[in-house]
Amino acid sequence: MDKLYTAEQKTKKMNNKIIKLFLRISISFGFLSAVADRFGLCREEISTWGNWENFLNFTKLINPWFPESVIPAIATIATGAEIVFAVFLLLGFKTELFAKLSGVLLLLFALSMTFSIGLKSAFDYSVFVASAGAFALSLMKEKYIELDTLIFKSKN
Protein backbone atom coordinates (compact mmCIF):
# COMPACT_ATOMS: atom_id res chain seq x y z
CA MET A 1 0.00 0.00 0.00
CA ASP A 2 1.32 3.43 -0.95
CA LYS A 3 2.28 5.77 1.80
CA LEU A 4 -0.21 8.62 2.10
CA TYR A 5 1.29 12.08 1.92
CA THR A 6 -0.21 15.46 2.64
CA ALA A 7 -0.10 18.08 -0.12
CA GLU A 8 2.68 19.86 1.78
CA GLN A 9 4.73 16.67 2.06
CA LYS A 10 4.28 15.95 -1.66
CA THR A 11 5.38 19.49 -2.53
CA LYS A 12 8.45 19.23 -0.28
CA LYS A 13 9.33 15.86 -1.75
CA MET A 14 9.07 17.22 -5.32
CA ASN A 15 11.06 20.33 -4.39
CA ASN A 16 13.85 18.12 -3.01
CA LYS A 17 13.88 16.10 -6.24
CA ILE A 18 14.11 19.25 -8.35
CA ILE A 19 16.90 20.64 -6.16
CA LYS A 20 18.80 17.36 -6.47
CA LEU A 21 18.43 17.38 -10.26
CA PHE A 22 19.52 21.03 -10.39
CA LEU A 23 22.64 20.25 -8.33
CA ARG A 24 23.53 17.28 -10.54
CA ILE A 25 23.14 19.31 -13.73
CA SER A 26 24.91 22.45 -12.50
CA ILE A 27 27.93 20.61 -11.05
CA SER A 28 28.21 18.49 -14.20
CA PHE A 29 27.97 21.45 -16.56
CA GLY A 30 30.51 23.34 -14.45
CA PHE A 31 32.99 20.49 -14.92
CA LEU A 32 32.22 20.07 -18.63
CA SER A 33 32.48 23.80 -19.29
CA ALA A 34 35.93 23.92 -17.69
CA VAL A 35 37.05 20.88 -19.68
CA ALA A 36 35.75 22.37 -22.94
CA ASP A 37 37.67 25.57 -22.19
CA ARG A 38 41.00 23.82 -21.66
CA PHE A 39 40.51 21.90 -24.91
CA GLY A 40 39.98 25.17 -26.79
CA LEU A 41 36.26 24.61 -27.47
CA CYS A 42 35.13 27.97 -26.06
CA ARG A 43 35.23 31.32 -27.82
CA GLU A 44 38.30 33.35 -26.90
CA GLU A 45 36.32 36.24 -25.40
CA ILE A 46 34.66 33.95 -22.83
CA SER A 47 37.57 31.59 -22.26
CA THR A 48 39.61 31.31 -19.09
CA TRP A 49 42.45 29.16 -20.46
CA GLY A 50 41.63 28.66 -24.11
CA ASN A 51 43.99 25.74 -24.59
CA TRP A 52 45.75 22.91 -22.82
CA GLU A 53 49.08 24.75 -22.51
CA ASN A 54 47.49 27.66 -20.65
CA PHE A 55 45.68 25.20 -18.40
CA LEU A 56 48.99 23.48 -17.62
CA ASN A 57 50.45 26.88 -16.67
CA PHE A 58 47.48 27.54 -14.37
CA THR A 59 47.82 24.06 -12.85
CA LYS A 60 51.48 24.85 -12.17
CA LEU A 61 50.53 28.23 -10.66
CA ILE A 62 48.08 26.76 -8.14
CA ASN A 63 50.29 23.75 -7.31
CA PRO A 64 53.70 25.34 -6.66
CA TRP A 65 54.64 22.62 -4.16
CA PHE A 66 54.72 19.94 -6.89
CA PRO A 67 57.69 19.48 -9.22
CA GLU A 68 57.06 20.78 -12.72
CA SER A 69 57.50 17.28 -14.11
CA VAL A 70 54.27 16.05 -12.46
CA ILE A 71 52.09 19.03 -13.47
CA PRO A 72 50.92 17.39 -16.74
CA ALA A 73 49.86 14.28 -14.78
CA ILE A 74 47.96 16.38 -12.23
CA ALA A 75 46.20 18.30 -15.01
CA THR A 76 45.34 15.10 -16.88
CA ILE A 77 44.03 13.32 -13.78
CA ALA A 78 41.93 16.34 -12.77
CA THR A 79 40.53 16.66 -16.29
CA GLY A 80 39.74 12.96 -16.52
CA ALA A 81 38.07 13.04 -13.11
CA GLU A 82 35.96 16.06 -14.11
CA ILE A 83 34.77 14.29 -17.27
CA VAL A 84 33.92 11.03 -15.47
CA PHE A 85 32.28 12.75 -12.50
CA ALA A 86 30.21 15.00 -14.80
CA VAL A 87 28.94 12.12 -16.93
CA PHE A 88 28.07 9.94 -13.94
CA LEU A 89 26.30 12.79 -12.14
CA LEU A 90 24.29 13.62 -15.27
CA LEU A 91 23.29 9.98 -15.69
CA GLY A 92 22.59 9.55 -12.00
CA PHE A 93 24.97 6.61 -11.68
CA LYS A 94 26.20 6.14 -8.12
CA THR A 95 25.20 9.74 -7.49
CA GLU A 96 26.12 9.83 -3.79
CA LEU A 97 29.62 8.47 -4.46
CA PHE A 98 30.38 10.76 -7.40
CA ALA A 99 28.92 13.75 -5.58
CA LYS A 100 31.32 13.11 -2.67
CA LEU A 101 34.25 12.65 -5.06
CA SER A 102 33.26 15.88 -6.83
CA GLY A 103 33.14 17.66 -3.49
CA VAL A 104 36.64 16.43 -2.64
CA LEU A 105 38.02 17.40 -6.06
CA LEU A 106 36.48 20.87 -5.85
CA LEU A 107 37.69 21.32 -2.27
CA LEU A 108 41.24 20.38 -3.31
CA PHE A 109 41.00 22.91 -6.13
CA ALA A 110 39.72 25.59 -3.72
CA LEU A 111 42.48 24.89 -1.22
CA SER A 112 45.14 24.90 -3.95
CA MET A 113 43.85 28.27 -5.13
CA THR A 114 43.71 29.60 -1.56
CA PHE A 115 47.26 28.60 -0.61
CA SER A 116 48.83 29.67 -3.91
CA ILE A 117 47.02 32.73 -5.26
CA GLY A 118 44.81 33.69 -2.36
CA LEU A 119 41.46 33.10 -0.70
CA LYS A 120 39.72 35.80 -2.73
CA SER A 121 40.20 33.93 -6.00
CA ALA A 122 38.65 30.76 -4.56
CA PHE A 123 35.65 32.82 -3.44
CA ASP A 124 35.45 34.81 -6.70
CA TYR A 125 35.23 31.57 -8.68
CA SER A 126 32.78 30.08 -6.13
CA VAL A 127 34.85 26.92 -5.79
CA PHE A 128 34.01 26.49 -2.09
CA VAL A 129 30.31 26.92 -2.93
CA ALA A 130 30.53 24.31 -5.69
CA SER A 131 32.29 21.93 -3.30
CA ALA A 132 29.63 22.48 -0.63
CA GLY A 133 26.91 21.91 -3.23
CA ALA A 134 28.51 18.62 -4.25
CA PHE A 135 28.73 17.48 -0.62
CA ALA A 136 25.09 18.52 -0.08
CA LEU A 137 24.10 16.52 -3.17
CA SER A 138 25.81 13.46 -1.69
CA LEU A 139 23.43 13.62 1.28
CA MET A 140 20.27 13.59 -0.83
CA LYS A 141 19.25 9.93 -0.84
CA GLU A 142 15.96 9.99 -2.72
CA LYS A 143 16.41 9.07 -6.40
CA TYR A 144 15.03 11.21 -9.21
CA ILE A 145 15.68 10.67 -12.92
CA GLU A 146 18.73 8.55 -12.13
CA LEU A 147 20.21 5.52 -13.83
CA ASP A 148 20.56 3.97 -10.39
CA THR A 149 16.78 3.50 -10.22
CA LEU A 150 16.99 1.23 -13.26
CA ILE A 151 20.03 -0.69 -12.04
CA PHE A 152 19.45 -0.92 -8.30
CA LYS A 153 16.23 -1.42 -6.41
CA SER A 154 15.14 1.87 -4.87
CA LYS A 155 14.93 1.89 -1.07
CA ASN A 156 12.60 4.92 -1.07
Domain assignment of residue 4, yes or no:
no
Domain assignment of residue 140, yes or no:
yes
Task: Decide: residue 114, CB within 10 A, 0-12 exposed, 13-18 middle, 19+ buried.
Answer: middle
Domain assignment of residue 5, yes or no:
no
Residue 138 has pLDDT above 80, yes or no: yes
What pLDDT was estimated at residue 2? 52
d(CA 24, CA 112): 24
SS3 65: coil
Domain assignment of residue 62, yes or no:
yes
Spell out a b/e string for 57-82, using b for 16 or more CB atoms within 10 Å of the CB, else e.
ebbbebbeeeeeeebeebbeebbebb
Q: How many helices (H) and strands (E) does the chain have?
A: 7, 0
What pLDDT was estimated at residue 154? 47
Question: What is the count of structural domains for the chain?
Answer: 1
Domain assignment of residue 59, yes or no:
yes
Domain assignment of residue 118, given as a range: 10-151
Mean pLDDT on 64-88 = 98
Residue 1 has pLDDT above 50, yes or no: no
Domain assignment of residue 1, yes or no:
no
> Which pTM value belongs to this model?
0.89
What pLDDT was estimated at residue 80? 98
Summarised one tens digit per residue, pLDDT across range 76-86 is 999 999 999 99
Residue 74 has pLDDT above 50, yes or no: yes
Average pLDDT value over all residues in the chain? 93
Domain assignment of residue 156, yes or no:
no
What pLDDT was estimated at residue 87? 98
DSSP labels for 137-152?
HHT--S-SS-THHHHS
Domain assignment of residue 75, yes or no:
yes
DSSP labels for 79-144?
HHHHHHHHHHHHHTSSHHHHHHHHHHHHHHHHHHHHHHT-HHHHHHTTHHHHHHHHHHHHT--S-S
